[in-house]
Structure formats: C-alpha cells, structure tokens
Amino acid sequence: PQWDHLDMQDRADHALIRLRQELSVYANLRQFRLYAGLEDASAVKADLISGGVDFIILRELSSGAYYGQPKFSEVTPSGRRAIDTIEYYDFQVERLTRYGYELARQRRCRLTSMSKWNALESSRLWRDVVEEMAAEYPDVDTQHEIVDAGAMNLIQRPAEYDVIVMPNMFGDILGDEAAVLAGSIGMVPSAEISLDGTSLYEPIHGSANDIEGKNIANPIGTILSGALMFRYSLDCPDGADEIERAVGRVIEEGYRTADILRSPGQQRVSTSEMGDLVVAKLRE
C-alpha cells in the first residue's frame, strides 16, 4: 500500500509486466488440484468438491486490458477520466488456444473457453477463433461459457473442468478465485510459457509481507511450480509426478502449514519443516 501513490509505470508490479514482455511469455498456466485430505481446508461445501478438483486455467498473457493502448487518465471539464483498451489479434488467441488443446489431449480431452462475447468485441473474436480451431481437435470436447456464469460454475461444478482458456484479465481474476477450491492460495503453482522456451515458474500468491521472516508460509505452491517446470520445460514428466506424489503423501499424513490447518488431528509445521518433509518423501 505504501507504493500505491506512484504512477503505474513506477510501481513494482509493473516490472513484472515488463519482464513478461522482455521474455515473450504468452501463456499463464495455473494448475488447481485438491489433494486428498485437504477437503476441510477448502472454502467450498464438501458436496461441491466431492467429484474432485483437477483442472488448468490457461490465461492469455501478452495482450488484453493490461497491455492495450491507449491507456491513460486525465482531468477533463466533465471530471476525471480513465481509459484502458482491450485489444486482441486472432493469432494471439490461436496460439494460446492451440496450447490449451494440446494440454487437453494429454489430460481428459475437455477444453472450455470463457469470455464475454455477449458484450465485448474482443471476446467475440476470442470465441470465433476458438470455434474455428475446434474443428482441428475433434477428439477434444469444446465448450464456451460467458465468463460471469463461468465464475459461478467453476465453484459449483469444478469436476466438470479440465483445461480452461480465457483472456488476460478474466484469467487473472478467476485464477485467484479458483484457489479456494485447492484449500489455499499457497497450494497453487503456475507457469508462464514463452515463445522461445524461456519460461517462468512461481506460485500464484504474492509476497505476503505481513508474514515475512516468520517461517509460516506454505511452500507447496513453490514446490509444485518446480513440478510444472519438470513437466513443461524439462520434458521430465516422471520427475513432476514424483514431486506431486511426495506432496500428496505429506498431506495424507496430516502435516499442515498454518493456512491449511483445520482439524485437531493434524500437525502444524513451519515452512522449512514442510519443505523437509517433501524432500524426505522424494528420497524414500
């Protein structure tokens, strides 16, 4: 909050946008999974997650409202005025969607496109491009949802989703909303995929300055981001599977950081202890 007074281009979070531009990243992949034993940590009713949670949100990361021009604010005789621009080219939608279809083929062969085609021209283009590409992937079940209805359905029927593609801003918002299904935002890994293979891997949560140095943060999102790196950059799916299994075994044995601790029978552990537990499972 102490930096909120700065102009947008001078804020630290703008540096992330610049980094993404310099590295030519175009897709943000967030993997949401509810591990067995974490049902009580989810903010969602048990009957809504009884079918399981295991889906990917694929967010377009190179264009949309965060990058479109013009972008400015001004004072006019009629009052203060601000302008943001949502702009998409068909090739930007196509490359993200193609990546999504290839992911879906490796998973459960379902792809859902979420946009706001009933109100935005950019979303009409989005839907049209996805629909055109669906003919290239007849083995994948393609569905379209208006994003506001999708936000509700994602919570009420998470088991129905496999791979979801959506424009930048919508993916940013729903990508955080969906974290409640996984038990904590600290459980969710992400990858930022680039055109040339130089990708970024990180948990989706922020810096959490309020708990800095307390050794209580959940490291699992970071650990699982490493699993994504093994799978999508290092072409080592077996290594990714081993990491994810190790995390699952630690959770099943009842170890919890503070953010996912719910029941008396669970054992609270620190950040470093949780990391050590996962490493120990990997060595077994």
Q: Which residues are catalytic?
A: 66, 116, 148, 172, 176
Peptide bond into 264 cis (omega under 30): no
Q: Angle between the 147-156 and 168-177 helix axes, to the nearest 10 degrees?
A: 20
Residue 164 burial (C-beta neighbours within 10 Å; 0-12, 13-18, 19+): buried
Per-position DSSP letters for 209-254, written without gaps between them: GGGTTSS-S--HHHHHHHHHHHHHTS--HHHHHHHHHHHHHHHHTT
Rg for the chain, CA atoms, rounded: 20
- The beta-strand segments (E) located in the chain are 25-33, 54-60, 68-76, 79-85, 110-115, 141-146, 163-166, 189-194, 200-203, 255-256, 267-268
CA 4 to chain centre: 25
User: Is 165 within 8 Å of 174 (Cβ atoms)?
Assistant: no
The sign of the torsion formed by the CA atoms of 241, 246, 250, 256 equals: negative
